[in-house]
Structure 1
Amino acid sequence: MNLVQSLKTWWIDLTGGEELPIDRETISWLVSLVLHLAVLILLATLAYLIPVQDDFLLSTAPPEVEDLPPITEVEFTEFDPADIGTLGDDAMADAAAAAPERADFSEVLTEYEPQAFTGELPAMDADFTLTTAPTIDDRMLVKGSGNVGTTAASGAVDRITNEILLSLEQRPTLVIWLFDESGSLQPQREEIAQRFQRIYEELGIIEDSGNEAFKRNDDEAPLLTAVASFEANVTIHTKQPTSSLSDVQQAMQAIEEKAALIYSDQNAATGQENVFSAIGKVANQFRRYRTKSPQRNVMIVVFTDEAGNDYQYLDAAVDLCKKSVIPVYVVGVPAPFGRREAFVKYVDPDPSYDQSPQYVPVDQGPESLMAERVQLRYFGRNDEDERLESGFGPFGLSRITYETGGIYFSVHPNRREGHVSRRQTEAMATHIAMFFDPLIMRRYRPDYVSVDEYKRRLAKNSAKASLVQAATLSWTEQMEDIRLRFPKYDEAELARDLTLAQRAAAKLEPKLQQLTTMMKRGESDRDKISEPRWKAGFDLAMGRTLAAKVRTEGYNTMLAMAKQGMKFKNPRNDTWVLMPSDEVSTGSVLSNEADLARMYLERVVAEHEETPWAYLASKELETPFGWQWNETFTNVVARRENQNNNNNNPQPERMPNVPPKKPSRPVPKL
């Protein structure tokens, strides 16, 4: 009898039942489990019986440090000395300090986790103090960043001095100083000329220390200098690159004499600033120093306060400097946001002439290759001509610094937070009403590309193309102002005034309709834009064109309603005044467009804080989109009678002891 049958018989005798609680398969599984457990226990017992080697410990000790001989060579550091650069007077606005800071604790201390139970690595502690530097972030100045703001040219020159030192660390260097000869740059040239002595004193410290690398032979001198100037043509004032400071100063004096002649003699000035052909000419003339022995680094430093009149030579200058590996640095001016012209506050330097400021237009922008900002008037405001800082320099000059690895220094003496009035603007400086944080504006850098590449990018996105088309149209079509006050002398005259005002609005409506249609063509591609600059530009243009359209069509409708007849609530009043209103009561279509305009403008304000786009959008939102009629009293009848009687007040006589007004003379070409 097998095991299963025996168990079954035993269970029946014990319980009186005929079936076991478990079947045959379960019993077989239990037997197998018992056998396997027995095998595992046997194997574990054998592992403890086999002898093993003794444990051992791995340890390391700090290596012996040999005393190194003192350093005899002089090397340059990227950190600015304490008395120049970002820590000096008139330093850059957004250049962050990169000088080392003394660390309180050594950070070399590193403790390694054990990799196995049989080994241990002790920590190695350094017994000397280390230096640390600030964490690298967006505040660090990067070559090719496009723009660095500064309040004076001297701060920019100190930064360029450091760039020269870094270049000398690599190999001998040739620096080409290229100056604009225009009269408006005279204060900056004088400031740089005074600074040159200090620049070369700093660069000559190593020479004075007796370093044998600095030799008097110009062919072997580590630092050579060439000086040139330009207006319509370029003039090179150093026959050969020189290492003599006196030669450089003589060249600077020659530039001042030539600039003074141009400034005083209108016939000697052409008014042309051909900066790109000048850059190309000096780069072509001196690029041999990049290849002949000893091979040198070549740097071009340009000083100008205009955008340049020869854009046709920009691509050639960029290609030549890139192929020759010649970085271009520009000490220039901020470009006005979306505008070509800025206005220099000119005060006659001769105190014997009238000292009243005159605002002279000069080309200092725009910051982008093509117009990317629609030009529209703000209803009820007279500040349409105020210039905002774009955050960048003129497009051509900024592009050549960006593509060659240089830096554009944007110099303006009034750079500060808040609004700057014309009265606060310094003489011979352009009036910039507001400046913006360069760290924020860095995200909104224009596309520094060629014309062909720019057009290809427009062709790929209809929103970008629509913005440029609308901006170009708004620049060529002047938007006219409108009339808001309508004195009522009689019904016929009021109706005539309303009709004339409608004609002005009728001329404006098609232009705004065309702008709005252009912008709406690009709405489908708006969400495909990834660059913050293009997003802000499209939203602002769409919001402003819709807002202007709603106001203009609503204005026309309100005039048409007034022609049907209106009565004054106060019989004494005699003048109707059309005032902005938050309610758009001239139809549901205009009301919906007003809501869409508000959405675009509010999105600009929310997503692009502290930028020119947000500033203009918030200013647009300050004026409601709708209209309402108000009434007031202006004494129309009495004014009309005075005009009919020709009752003009006589001019007051000049009071005695008042000095006569000083004579004025024409403004020279700047």
Structure 2
Amino acid sequence: MSEAYQDQPNATAAASGRFSEPLAWLSSLAMHACALICLAVFTQIAPLDKAPLLFTSPPPEEPEPLDDAFRVSEELSIDIGALSDGGVGDAAASAPLEAVVPEVALDLQALTELGQIPTLEASTPSLSSPDPNSNTLVIGVGAVGTTGSEGAIDWLTGAILQSLEQSPTVVVWLFDRSESLTAQREEIVRRFDRVYEELGVAATRGAEGFDAAEEDEAPLLTSIVAFGEGVEFVTRKPTADIEAIKEAVRSIEPDESGAENVFGAVLSAAERHKRYRLQRPRRNVMLVVVTDEAGDDFANIDRAVAYCRKMQMPVYAVGAPAPFGRRETYVRYVDPDPKYDQTPQYLPVQQGPETLFPERLRLGSFAGDDYDGTILDSGFGPYALTRLTRETNGSFIAVHPFRVDAGRANRRGADDTMVARLDYFFDQRVMRRYLPDYVPTTEYQKRVSRNGAKRALVEASAMAWTEKLENVRRDFPKLDEAQFAEDLSNAQRAAAILEPKLAQLVTTLRRGEADRPKIDDPRWQAGYDLALGQALAAKVRAEGYNAMLALAKQGLSFTSEKKDTWVIRPAEEISTGSLDQREAEDAIRYLKRVVAEHEGTPWAFLAQRELSTPLGWKWNDEFRNLAERRQQENNRPPRPERPEPPPKPRRTPKL
């Protein structure tokens, strides 16, 4: 009993301890919660005196002193280096430059909405570098331009280097044997030494000559081919001997036939060198054509393209740019032999057109200038030769000594002998949007036949090309009525011949007007709009001219008795009928669209020139003292005859 009695208080104490622990924990929790609530209620958000520092940067490190060999000037130099004023065409800079807009602002947003934390603005320089491809020969491009043969060889050096990086290479040079290319061949020969040195494959003959096995293993081999009416392989086989290469080029003699069968020569050269593509060790084979004409054997173009593509032989061409919308331009020629007549001759050379068929009207000008007055650069090479280079992954390099980036040709201080006439050049980057259709003849005809506007342009251009339109008379002296009436009648007969041709041109082009909105190619858009605008303008001028001549035959009165000459001049007002007025409005609309949508192109140039001359006519009377001048001529004593030396014989070469 006593032990049980003693254990009872202990059990009661244990039970009370078990109940008191949770109560103490709950009491503590309640007190802390009340304290937090009180603190939250009586807390006030106050602005910070200073903005918090979101990030820090380590202190700048002191640069280690450099050796004198690595010291550079802190001043900017604009005289030397790849980024200098004279560095055009040199190595492009690889280090970044600070852009024109030097900073980009970064708006750093606050991370919390509590408190008044200001938004920080950081700036970092925006870096850029020159375009490394701005002076790189682009594979397959329609044409690139340079002012001389040396510049063209510099372009080709890059292409040869790219080929050597892939595989050992054979470069086959095909030189036109025409006399007009003699100076250009010599320029290229003088450049060969530098090219081979830059490529790191220069070699010269020693006392014992080359070892045949070593030469066959040379990374770069060269063949020289000459072509004219036929093909001559000047080097027996490809060689790495620079002196032998230069001697081979200098040994090429002009071909008196004047024929230039360039595509047959390319085909023969490709077939002769195909073993380097088929036998091991395989080599790349590049064909480089140097010529100043379009080629006479157009029938071989498809075979040449197909074979070079099959053998994977890219074709590059160094040649003259094609004149815009023309087959021929002119070369100034002076006989080099003083025994012959030294009078300059202007000989036609075939260097175009840049398209398969002409896509430009050939019209006379009422402003007094013949169609041949201004010859424009097309921005591309001759169609067939450029197509050959493009379809074989090569390029056409257009060479002209008077070339400028855009604008009138630079003839200052230059000799224009044996230089094809081009008066105006256009930016090559702009012209690349207006690439001709470099496709086979059958495919070209299919594309043209599918659209009425294209078909009308080609048909109208063919009509105008074969029939040259005559200029018109502007001055009509009036010494007596009979002579004045006869002059007016003769001028009307010329206009009567002109009007039907222009009406036919307009009718042909109008047939394709409904399909004009379906054209999405900018070249065809510009070509059709310019052609229809020019044809309508010429028709309005011709009909207005004829009507004004008929008005003059009915009788014109001078504003004073002293006046003795009637002159017909362009005017803004069209007073020859509502039809002419409507056609004049259409002409201006089409021409203005060309100027607005195709700025910086030959089409815009011609459209702007057309718009600069009004479409109407008016008569003006002038005093030119015709009676006194005629009397002086009648009273002038005859000139004494002087014996003249016999003329020197004259030669006209075939270019």
Query: Given the two structures, how large is their TM-score scaled by the length of structure 2?
Result: 0.77
1:250 aligns with 247
Kept after mapping to 2: 8 A contact 1:422/1:431: no
Supply the AA of the counterpart residue of 1:412: H
Aligned residues: 539
Match of 1:650 in 2: 639
Deviations 1:187-233 (A, max 9, x none): 1100011111222223335889xxxxx99534433222111000000
2:364 is matched with which residue? 377
Classify 1:282/1:139 alpha carbon distance in 2 versus 1 (closer, same or farther; 3 Å): closer
| CA offset digits 1:612-644 (Å, max 9, x no partner) | 11111111111110001111123344455566x
Cα distance in 2 for partners of 1:104, 1:461 equals 49
Call closer, same or farther: CA 1:138–1:446 in 2, change over 3 Å: farther
Residues 402 and 410, structure 2, Cα contact 8 Å, conserved in 1: no
Q: 1:151 aligns with which of 137, 143, 147?
A: 147
Q: What does residue 198 of structure 1 align with?
A: 194
Per-residue deviation, 1:510: 0.4
Q: Distance in 1 between matches of 2:277 and 2:427?
A: 38
Shift of 1:610: 1.4
Judge conservation of contact 2:368–2:471 (CA < 8 Å) in 1.
no
Aligned mates of 1:101, 1:344 — CA distance in 2: 44
Q: How far has the Cα of 1:543 moved from its partner?
A: 0.6
Matched, 1:415 2:403: yes
Distance in 2 between residues matched to 1:382 and 1:225, nearest whole Å: 49
Asked if the contact 2:329–2:350 (Cα under 8 Å) also holds between the matched residues in 1, the reply is yes
**1:522/1:236 CA distance change after superposition, 3 Å:** same
Deviation at 1:246, TM superposition (A): 3.0
SS of the equivalent of 1:382 reads coil
After superposition, the Cα gap between the structure-2 partners of 1:463 and 1:588, relative to the gap in structure 1 and judged at 3 Å, is: same
Q: For the structure 1 residues 306 and 90, does the alpha-carbon distance in structure 2 shift closer, same or farther, using more than 3 Å as the test?
A: farther
Are 1:221 and 2:230 matched, yes or no?
no
Q: Is the 8 A contact 2:186 2:250 kept in 1?
A: no
- Write the deviation string for residues 527-552 of structure 1: whole angstroms up to 9, x where unpaired: 11111111111111011000000000
Are the equivalent residues in 2 in contact too, given 1:307–1:394 (CA < 8 A)? yes
Q: Percent identity?
A: 51
- Does the 8 A contact of 2:262 with 2:295 survive in 1? yes
Deviations 1:250-295 (A, max 9, x none): 322321xx23xx4xxxxxx111011011111111111121111111
- Residue identity matched to 1:419: R
Shift of 1:562: 1.3
For 1:649 and 1:388, locate their aligned partners in 2 and report how far apart those are by CA, in whole Å. 45
Per-residue deviation, 1:653: 7.0
SS of 1:628's partner is strand
Alignment partner, residue 336 of structure 2: 349
Q: What is the alpha-carbon distance in structure 2 between the residues aligned to residue 570 and residue 215 of structure 1?
A: 94
CA 1:238/1:135 → structure 2, altered by over 3 Å: closer, same or farther? closer
- In structure 2, the CA distance between the partners of 1:337 and 1:401, relative to structure 1 (3 Å rule), is same
Alignment of 1:557-568 (within 5 A): 557-568=547-558
Rounded to whole Å, the distance in 1 between the matches of 2:475 and 2:595 is 32
Shift of 1:427: 2.1
Any idea what SS the aligned residue of 2:214 has?
A: coil
Distance 1:177 1:218, change over 3 A: same
Give the equivalent residue in structure 1 for 2:513.
523
Q: Which residue of 2 aligns with 1:293?
A: 280
Cα separation, partners in 2 of 1:633 and 1:649, compared to 1, 3 Å = farther
TM-aligned CA deviation for residue 332 of structure 1:
0.4
Shift of 1:399: 0.5
Aligned to 1:667: 652
- For 2:353 and 2:306, the matched residues in 1 are separated by 22
Equivalents in 1 of 2:216, 2:198: separation in Å? Answer: 21
Change beyond 3 A, Cα 1:228–1:450 = same
SS at match of 1:217: helix
- SS of alignment partner, residue 440 of structure 1: helix
1:600 equivalent to 2:590? Answer yes
- 8 Å CA contact 2:595–2:608 kept in 1: the answer is yes
Which digits, 9 at most, give the CA deviation of each residue in 1:161-189, with x for residues without a partner? Answer: 22112111111211101000101001110
- Alpha-carbon displacement from aligned partner over 1:389-434 (angstroms, at most 9, x marks no partner): 0000111111001100001100011112432387856222112101
Task: Letter of the 1:156 partner, please give it.
Answer: A
CA contact (8 A) 2:498 2:542 kept: yes
The Cα shift of 1:664 comes to: 6.3
Cα 1:89–1:353 change in 2 (3 A) is: farther
Q: Equivalent residue for 2:101?
A: none
How far the C-alpha of 1:103 sits from its partner, in A, is 3.8
Match in the other structure for 1:403? 391
Query: Partner residue of 1:505?
Result: 495
Q: Which amino acid aligns with 2:652?
A: V
User: Shift of residue 577 of structure 1?
Assistant: 1.0
Alpha-carbon distance in structure 2 between the residues aligned to 1:460 and 1:602: 27
For the structure 1 residues 494 and 422, does the alpha-carbon distance in structure 2 shift closer, same or farther, using more than 3 Å as the test? farther
Deviations 1:361-397 (A, max 9, x none): 1111111110000011221232531211000011111
Matched with 1:165 is 161
Q: 1:392 aligns with which of 349, 373, 380?
A: 380
Deviations 1:12-64 (A, max 9, x none): xxxxxxxxxxxxxxxxxxxxxxxxxxxxxxxxxxxxxxxxxxxxxxxxxxxxx
Instruction: Supply the distance in 2 between the matched residues of 1:471 and 1:104 (Cα, whole angstroms).
Output: 50
Query: Which residue type is aligned with residue 477 of structure 1?
Result: E
1:243-392 pair list within 5 angstroms: 243-255=240-252, 258-259=253-254, 262=255, 269-350=256-337, 356-382=343-369, 384-385=371-372, 386-392=374-380
Q: Output the CA distance in 2 between the equivalents of 1:187 and 1:160.
A: 19
Map 1:443-522; keep pairs closer than 5 Å: 443-522=433-512
Segments of structure 2 that go 5 or more residues without pairing to the other structure are: 1-79, 99-126, 205-210
Show the 5 A alignment for 1:606-645.
Answer: 606-641=596-631, 645=634
Greater Cα offset, 175-184 or 218-227: 218-227
Alpha-carbon separation, structure 2, partners of 1:569 and 1:178: 69
The answer to whether the 8 A contact 1:85-1:159 is kept is: no
- Alignment of 1:101 with 2:94, yes or no, is yes
- Partner amino acid, structure 2, of 1:382: D
Partner of 1:533: 523
1:503-528 per-residue CA deviation (whole Å, 9 max, x = no partner) reads 11010000000000011011111111
Tell me how far apart the structure 2 counterparts of residues 158 and 321 of structure 1 sit (CA, whole Å). Answer: 24
Deviation at 1:661, TM superposition (A): 11
CA 1:637–1:103: 2 relative to 1, 3 Å: closer
Post-superposition offset of 1:300: 0.1
State the SS of the aligned residue for 1:149.
strand
Distance 1:177 1:281 in 2: 13
TM-score, normalising length: structure 1: 0.75
Unaligned segments of structure 1, at least 5 residues: 1-82, 106-130, 209-213, 263-268
Q: CA deviation at 1:234?
A: 0.6
Tell me if structure 2 keeps the 8 A contact 1:86–1:155. Answer: no
Equivalent AA in structure 2 for residue 388 of structure 1: L
Could you tell which deviates more after superposition, 487-496 or 367-376? 487-496
* RMSD, matched Cα: 3.0
Map 1:168-183 to 2 at 5 A.
168-183=164-179
Q: CA separation in 2, counterparts of 1:287 and 1:102?
A: 43
- Cα gap change, 1:641/1:422 in structure 2, threshold over 3 Å: closer, same or farther? farther
- Matched residue SS, 1:342: strand
Q: CA deviation at 1:648?
A: 5.5
Name the residue aligned to 1:27: none
1:354–1:663 contact (8 Å) kept in structure 2 = yes
Residue 583 to residue 425, structure 1, CA distance change in 2 (3 Å): farther
